[in-house]
């Protein structure tokens, strides 16, 4: 944490300092990051939110990295883990869907989830459960590592793309397509970019279109491929 942020908060009270806990600090930090749309709060702003001096946070976290470790661990704790007796395919599909939802709630975590050198207990429990699901499903040690990496690459990549898109639904997409097609008159646009015009008109602009549905389709293709290679690695 930046020691220049040790600013006295006029609203700090003994009762506020006394009620401070590690979990309370972490949950406040996660809520602030969620509300900010991706920005992890500074020590000063976090202390103000909690009604304490910034120095009080050092009793629970030695530095900013330790705070980030804890925040990431809270996100991992939200992800549904494969059940021990579950079919590996079902377990991986449900876990991936749960992970995507967690990243939608906490987009700031997308670039941090696998960057922490000091993994917390929820993170370790998550990784062990995923690897256990794959190993019990017949994957070799190397195959489990390959499958884990592949699925996570897809989930993280989809989360980044989904968060960056300038629309949330088909209704939001229409003005985006209209701006795109202003590059040329309709007939000319269709001639110059026939496949782009085709997918816009015949797919993306149809009622009920939801880009999020692409997630399950792509994930299914990956799991189908893993099934075929499961005993080959």
- The count of domains in the chain is 2
Q: Which of 25, 32, 112, 22 is nearest to 72 (CA)?
A: 112
Range of the domain at 57: 20-61
Residue 191, domain member (yes or no): no
Helix (H, G, I), strand (E, B) or coil at 124: helix
Residue with tokens 């996570």: 152
Residue 135, domain member (yes or no): yes
Residue 145, domain member (yes or no): yes
Could you read off the pLDDT of 150-172 as tens digits, one per residue?
Answer: 999 999 999 999 988 877 655 67
Residue 195, domain member (yes or no): no
Residue with tokens 């293709």: 221
pLDDT at 168: 64
> Where residue 32 sits, what CATH number does that domain have?
1.10.10
Let me know whether 101 and 134 are in one domain: yes
Residue 137, domain member (yes or no): yes
Token output for 76: 């991992």
Residue 78, domain member (yes or no): yes
Select from 165, 199, 218 the last residue of a domain.
165
Could you read off the pLDDT of 96-151 as tens digits, one per residue?
Answer: 999 999 999 999 999 888 888 889 999 999 999 999 999 999 999 999 999 999 99
pTM score > 0.85 for this model?
A: no
Average pLDDT of the chain to the nearest whole number: 86
């Amino acid at each position: 944490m930046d020691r220049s942020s040790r600013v006295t908060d006029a609203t700090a009270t003994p009762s506020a300092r006394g009620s401070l806990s590690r979990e309370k600090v972490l949950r406040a930090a996660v809520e602030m990051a969620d509300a900010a749309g991706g920005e992890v709060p500074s020590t000063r702003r976090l202390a103000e939110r909690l009604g304490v001096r910034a120095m009080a946070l050092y009793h629970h976290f030695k530095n900013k990295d330790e705070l980030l470790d804890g925040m990431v661990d809270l996100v991992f704790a939200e992800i549904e883990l494969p059940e021990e007796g579950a079919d590996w395919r079902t377990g991986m599909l449900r876990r991936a869907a749960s992970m995507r939802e967690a990243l939608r709630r906490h987009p700031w975590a997308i670039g941090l989830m696998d960057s922490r050198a000091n993994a917390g207990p929820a993170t370790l429990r998550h990784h062990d459960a995923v690897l256990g699901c794959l190993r019990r499903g017949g994957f070799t040690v190397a195959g489990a590592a390959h499958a884990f990496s592949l699925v996570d690459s897809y989930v993280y990549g989809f989360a980044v793309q989904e968060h960056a898109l300038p629309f949330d639904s088909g209704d939001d997409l229409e003005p985006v397509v209209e701006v795109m097609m202003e590059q040329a008159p309709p007939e000319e646009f269709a001639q110059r970019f026939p496949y782009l015009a085709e997918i816009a008109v015949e797919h993306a602009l149809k009622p009920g279109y939801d880009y999020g549905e692409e997630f399950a389709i792509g994930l299914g293709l990956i799991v189908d491929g893993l099934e075929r290679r499961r005993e080959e690695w």
